[in-house]
Homo-oligomer: A and B are copies of this chain.
Amino acid sequence: MFDELCPSSLNPIRFGDKWAPLVIRCLEGGPRRFSELRVPLRRVTPKVLTASLRALERDGFVERTVHPGPLQRVEYALTPLGRSLLGPLEAACAWAGEHWDELLDAREAYEGRQQAG
């Protein structure tokens, strides 16, 4: 059934690493520069953000373009492949919006049961 390395056991189905979903959503509205990404993602250190971006670039989700000339800029943009992730990602976010509370309640109830015995 799931003998082989099923794709779903690998990362992409989980939207990449920890910050990848947020990075993707940040790029949804168009290309962004490194320092522009750092503003909404201020909790992410540059090293980690770089790692996330490199992974997304490697998998063909974002494209990194260095605009040369004076005032050189580096921009990150979603590729078509990256945009194709927006659908599933949106589905997952919608799910979270609808059911997040239930999940928290379940956790609380579980903790209660644990302590009770």
Contacts and interface: CB of A to CB of B under 8 A. Distances in A.
Interface of A: 1-3, 6-9, 12-15, 18-19, 21-22, 25-26, 39-43, 57-60, 81, 84-85, 87-88, 91-100, 102-103, 105-107, 109-110
B59 A8 contact: no
A7 B40 CA distance: 15
Contacts of A97: 7
Nearest to A19: B9
A60 B96 contact: no
Contact of A81 (B2, B7, B102): B102
Contacts of A99: 81, 84
Given A84-B98, A106-B59, A110-B57, A41 B92 contact: no
